[in-house]
Amino acid sequence: MDNLWSDDDARAAVAHYGPRGIGEDLALRVYTTRLLGGEPLLVQHGGGNTSVKTELTDLTGTPVEAMCVKGSGWDMALIEPPGLPAMRLESVRPLLALDALSDEDMVNAQRASLLDSTSPNPSVEALLHAFLPHKFVDHTHAAAVLAVTDQPDGEEICAEVFGDRAALVPYIMPGFALAKKAQEVSAANPDAEGLILLKHGIFSFGETAREAYERMIGLVALAEERLKEGNKPVFVPAKLPESVAPASAVAPILRGCAAIPLAPSDGRYTRWIVAHRTSPAILDYVNGKDLMRYGQVGVVTPDHSIRTKGLPLIVPPPESGLIDAFKTAAQEAFEGFAKSYAAYFDRHNARQEMPRKRLDTAPRVVLVPGMGLFALGKSAKDAAVVADLAETTISVITDAEAIGRFETIDEADLFEIEYWSLEQAKLGKAAEKPLARHIVLVTGGAGAIGQATGRAFAAEGAEVVLADLNGDAAKEAASGFGGLGIACDVTDRDSVQEAFDDVCKGLGGVDIVVSNAGAAWQGRIGTVSDAILRESFELNFFAHQTVAQCAVRVMEAQDTGGVLLFNASKQAVNPGRDFGPYGLPKAATMLLAKQYALDYGGQGIRSNAVNADRIRSGLLTDNMIKERAKARGLSEDDYMGGNLLGREVTADDVAQAFVSLSLARKTTGATLTVDGGNIAAALR
Ligand code: ZN
């Protein structure tokens, strides 16, 4: 573990925050909190906290003995002074005299002690910081420390590794009781540099930010030294199939198995975004003969459980060519997981004074021998966090097994954490947007309609991938709303298949496909060349068919329905003179949408089309608008608004039509006009 302290950086932090009214103590607290937070082997995703005791002044100018402690919701790597709310020490220190304090009373006392009532909630470990006498207190869940303490004889190993430099605190779940115990252990060991919280993590402290930080690094280095002694080959490989199916085929099956039906009659499910991770270290772990033992022990530190659940699901390896057999086996494994999770809940809930509300029964981490790990989250960001924690878990357990045997807190303690109201509060209760957890692929994604459609779906909470012939333009456009962009030539089946494979590998599958790519060819139908007509059919009909075929294959693997949306022009219904080469394939595409509605309705896959007209885009350029308006003796505005409503139709209007069709759960086989009213193109 490298010591990253730099006098220059420390001075720079003080100089940066000073003019903003932030004292040296807090400025240095921010500096070393960031140092700790930036190292994933110490801290990941909200799993650690820091504090400093300092003097502040209240509104009257009276000095206040305060403690600035990490607030919940802040990431240590990016922390700023408002992420370390100040508590009045005189109002929380006396709590130490109490024998017990409920979680609710503790949170209330912490909030009531804040100097600024708008601050975030202080960390659930704030009282532990407050009860310690030291000025700077640092807390991490360092991977190396976890690997030495997560052992049947973790206490003896830690005593030997840390000696007098760190005192040992038995496992107690975070909260008032742990804060009291840590204070007691610290008081009995006044010369210790820190505390090892068995099966949880490590605290270090000091009179200066530098001392507390360097003690953390020094203590973690002791654990790392001890791990170097573990050099036995850890995992004996299990016998695996000669070749396994690709992740792009496996992810949609897992995603479908994990989906929880809400109201199957209208096709609603709690869906998941799936992140796949693999590496030599992950493969060694998931391919081990004893995976069912070491992989089913539990979490490496308690607070992971709120994101990863206590145990991962292990499914059999997917032999290539036998994907149907894998799907059946995976379904059984997910059902088994749900049953055993429900039984775990019932077992421990029965002991609670206040009955808890059971969380969903889907796993968050799925281990697949031969392939690696799959992490499930409510968004791509969330799935990545779960995947990070799962990777850390694998690394800690690998190290723990190399020096002994991985062991963690027992099931009852795990339940206390997983169903602890204060931990649940960390997950946020904001209502989800209507298309959250949905994966949307838009072809022709870099064009005006494609971009607007991507933006509109992202605004409804969806994970959006823009696919375009110009991959860079798609990436650029998608970055504007947090989506992904990929290159795809929709007239090339391999390219389309590759795009779907990428989306499945990256996000887990696909729920909504907007087949939008198109281009206009002109020509008088009696004389137009076959080449032009066929070229137009390639893009304006066959490409839609290729995209839809690839889409339904993924949707069938997921078994959770799906939505196909086609961009069919007004030309499909009301042809324009000399636009035959464009209108003919579009008319076929409108029928294609209906054919998919017919053939796939039984599987809950809906298929609809949008009939737009006169949208400023690559198809209808500013020059074309100028010419056409001139030819009709109209102003450009009058030409663009030449419809029954007299209103120009925009790419955003078309995008909204796609979104509304994707939400219309009882509509399939429909064509929706978005043209401001064009009676000759009105469908019955
Ligand atoms: Zn902790």
Per-residue three-class SS string for 77-141: HHCCHHHCCEEEHHHHHHHHHCCCCCHHHHHHHHHHCECCCCCCCECCCHHHHHHCCCCEEEEEC
Closest by alpha carbon to 206, among 196, 191, 220, 221? 191
CB 468 within 8 A of CB 488: yes
The answer to whether domain 7-227 has CATH 3.40.1710.10 is: no
Query: DSSP readout, 486-541?
Result: EE--TT-HHHHHHHHHHHHHHHS--SEEEE-------B-TTT--HHHHHHHHIIII
Name the helix (H) or strand (E) containing 566: strand 562-569
Specify the residue for token string 């409108």: 590
Q: How far is the CA of 47 from the centre of ligand 1 (A)?
A: 6
Q: How far is the CA of 81 from the centre of ligand 1 (A)?
A: 21
The reported pLDDT for the residue numbered 238 is 93
Q: How far is the CA of 294 from the centre of ligand 1 (A)?
A: 23
Closest by alpha carbon to 206, among 77, 25, 75? 25
Q: Which amino acid is at 332?
A: E
User: DSSP assignment, residue 54?
Assistant: E
What's the fold here for domain 439-681? Answer: Rossmann fold (3.40.50)
Q: What is the CA radius of gyration of the chain?
A: 30
Cβ neighbours of residue 447 under 8 Å, at least 6 residues apart?
468, 516, 517, 617, 618
The reported pLDDT for the residue numbered 684 is 67
Measured between alpha carbons, how far is 370 from 358 in angstroms, rounded to an integer? 33
What number of other Cβ atoms are within 10 A of residue 196's Cβ?
28
Q: How far is the CA of 195 from the centre of ligand 1 (A)?
A: 12
Measured between alpha carbons, how far is 66 from 79 in angstroms, rounded to an integer? 19
Domain with CATH 3.40.225.10 in the chain: 7-227
φ, ψ dihedrals at 74, nearest 5°: -100, 140
Q: How far is the CA of 275 from the centre of ligand 1 (A)?
A: 26
E strands in 152-234: 166-169, 194-197, 201-206
Q: How far is the CA of 305 from the centre of ligand 1 (A)?
A: 12
Q: How far is the CA of 68 from the centre of ligand 1 (A)?
A: 17
The reported pLDDT for the residue numbered 420 is 85
Closest by alpha carbon to 304, among 406, 426, 399? 426
Measured between alpha carbons, how far is 308 from 46 in angstroms, rounded to an integer? 14
User: DSSP assignment, residue 619?
Assistant: S
Q: How far is the CA of 667 from the centre of ligand 1 (A)?
A: 50
Q: How far is the CA of 430 from the centre of ligand 1 (A)?
A: 25
Query: DSSP readout, 63-77?
Result: EEEEEEEPBTT--GG
The reported pLDDT for the residue numbered 346 is 96
In tens, the pLDDT along 246-261 reads: 999 999 999 999 999 9
Q: How far is the CA of 665 from the centre of ligand 1 (A)?
A: 44
Percentages helix, strand, coil for the chain (3-state, rounded to 5) are 50, 15, 35
Measured between alpha carbons, how far is 92 from 94 in angstroms, rounded to an integer? 6
Specify the residue for token string 């198809």: 619
Q: How far is the CA of 111 from the centre of ligand 1 (A)?
A: 20
Cβ neighbours of residue 12 under 8 Å, at least 6 residues apart?
none
Closest by alpha carbon to 504, among 256, 674, 337? 256
Q: How far is the CA of 365 from the centre of ligand 1 (A)?
A: 21
Closest by alpha carbon to 587, among 518, 506, 640? 518
Please report, for the chain, how many H helices and E strands are present, in that order: 26, 20
The low-confidence residues of the chain, meaning pLDDT below 50, are none
CB 516 within 8 A of CB 567: yes
Q: Coil, strand, or helix at residue 426?
A: helix
For helices 448-459 and 651-663, give the axis angle rounded to 10 degrees. Answer: 50
Measured between alpha carbons, how far is 257 from 376 in angstroms, rounded to an integer? 11
E strands in 257-416: 260-263, 268-270, 273-277, 313-314, 365-368, 372-377
Bridge partners, 140 (sequence order): 202
The answer to whether domain 247-427 has CATH 3.40.225 is: yes
Q: How far is the CA of 174 from the centre of ligand 1 (A)?
A: 7
Query: How much is the pTM?
Result: 0.94
Task: Cite the DSSP H helix spans in 189-290.
Answer: 209-228, 247-258, 280-286
